[in-house]
Amino acid sequence: MSTKKIGDVILDVQNISLRFGGVKALTDISFNVREHEIRSIIGPNGAGKSSMLNCINGVYTPSEGSITFRGKTFDHMNSRQVAEMGVARTFQNLALFKGMSVLDNIMSGRNLKIKSNLLLQALRIGPAEREEIKHREFVERIIDFLEIQAYRKTPVGQLPYGLQKRVDLGRALAMEPQVLLLDEPMAGMNVEEKQDMCRFILDVNDEFGTTIVLIEHDMGVVMDISDRVVVLDYGKKIGDGAPEEVRNNEDVIRAYLGTSH
């Protein structure tokens, strides 16, 4: 649908399996993500989508398999290390500080980038002050980009749900990620809020060149904005390809029409 240039493989998921006690959340999953791509992961509830993102960003350690990011392969990596490598995420269930302002929540996403020691920062002297100004400016740019200037000082808990999701996106963008993992960013939104979120995702992808891995239930949205789609069902990969390819895949159609879930 677009003329954008897709690059080399930036993220390569190889033979990932994940078990929770007796539950096989993921079985031998492999797929890759190319630079600048919008790569969607779809599948019925409980298919393993969130678990897959949690493996990529180091929250879960897979029982088998490995993940390669920009040519560097890892099988054990904590979420901070993954974040430092340039992978950020938003959450299916919001993980914002409800009592804190929009500005401070987005600033909290910036913490990884803040290098001066805490004492200098607290005293706001020398390099720490210059650094703080630089970070504040960056956060203000994100606030402008997401069109939430009017709520800068508002505690996040007082905002409508759709705007809270937008702040969560802002917090992830504050990390200046190369890869952004979005777990159902449009869940629970009304049509208008969905359209806005869709536009922001496309703009982030386009203007910042950020690679996006998207979990989404709204098939219209998925078919519209994805470059390629992975389909999971009961922890297994049952489809992988361009949207129209996946849409016509017999296994995928069966999984979605199946009466079992």
Ligand X SMILES: Nc1ncnc2c1ncn2[C@@H]1O[C@H](COP(=O)(O)OP(=O)(O)O)[C@@H](O)[C@H]1O
Residues that bind Mg ion (CB under 5 A): 49-50
CA angle 83, 232, 204 (to 5 degrees): 40
Residue 105: name its binding partner from Mg ion, ligand X, none (Cβ under 5 to 8 Å by kind): none
User: What is the distance between the alpha carbons of residues 110 and 68, in angstroms, rounded to a whole number?
Assistant: 25
DSSP string, 42-93: E-STTSSHHHHHHHHTTSS--SEEEEEETTEEES---HHHHHHTTEEEE-SS
Residue 90: name its binding partner from ligand X, Mg ion, none (Cβ under 5 to 8 Å by kind): none
Residue 89: name its binding partner from Mg ion, ligand X, none (Cβ under 5 to 8 Å by kind): none
Judged by beta carbon, residue 40 or residue 50, the one nearer Mg ion is 50
Residue 74: name its binding partner from ligand X, Mg ion, none (Cβ under 5 to 8 Å by kind): none
**For residue 226, which of 235, 237, 234, 215 has the smallest C-alpha distance?**
215
Residue type, 192: E
User: What is the distance between the alpha carbons of residues 53 and 215, in angstroms, rounded to a whole number?
Assistant: 9
Residue 45: name its binding partner from Mg ion, ligand X, none (Cβ under 5 to 8 Å by kind): ligand X
Judged by beta carbon, residue 33 or residue 106, the one nearer ligand X is 33
Q: Report in angstroms how near the CB of residue 47 gets to Mg ion at its nearest.
A: 8
Structure-block tokens of residue 8? 């080399």
Judged by beta carbon, residue 50 or residue 105, the one nearer ligand X is 50
Q: Report in angstroms how near the CB of residue 50 gets to Mg ion at its nearest.
A: 3
Judged by beta carbon, residue 20 or residue 74, the one nearer ligand X is 20
Q: Report in angstroms how near the CB of residue 29 gets to ligand X at its nearest.
A: 11
Judged by beta carbon, residue 139 or residue 182, the one nearer Mg ion is 182
Structure-block tokens of residue 18? 């994940």
Rounded to the nearest 10 degrees, how much is the dihedral formed by the CA atoms of 94, 100, 105, 107? -170
The helix (run of H) or strand (run of E) holding residue 210 is none
Q: Report in angstroms how near the CB of residue 44 gets to Mg ion at its nearest.
A: 10
Q: Report in angstroms how near the CB of residue 186 gets to ligand X at its nearest.
A: 14
The binding site for ligand X (CB under 6 A) comprises 20, 23, 25, 43, 45-51
User: What is the distance between the alpha carbons of residues 76 and 115, in angstroms, rounded to a whole number?
Assistant: 25
Q: Report in angstroms how near the CB of residue 188 gets to Mg ion at its nearest.
A: 13
Residue 46: name its binding partner from Mg ion, ligand X, none (Cβ under 5 to 8 Å by kind): ligand X
- H-helix segments, 72-160: 79-84, 102-108, 118-123, 126-145
Residue 162: name its binding partner from Mg ion, ligand X, none (Cβ under 5 to 8 Å by kind): none
Q: Report in angstroms how near the CB of residue 219 gets to ligand X at its nearest.
A: 15
Judged by beta carbon, residue 48 or residue 62, the one nearer ligand X is 48
Judged by beta carbon, residue 39 or residue 49, the one nearer Mg ion is 49
b (16+ CB within 10 A) / e for 43-80: bbeebbbbbbbbbbbbebebeebebebeeeeeeebeee
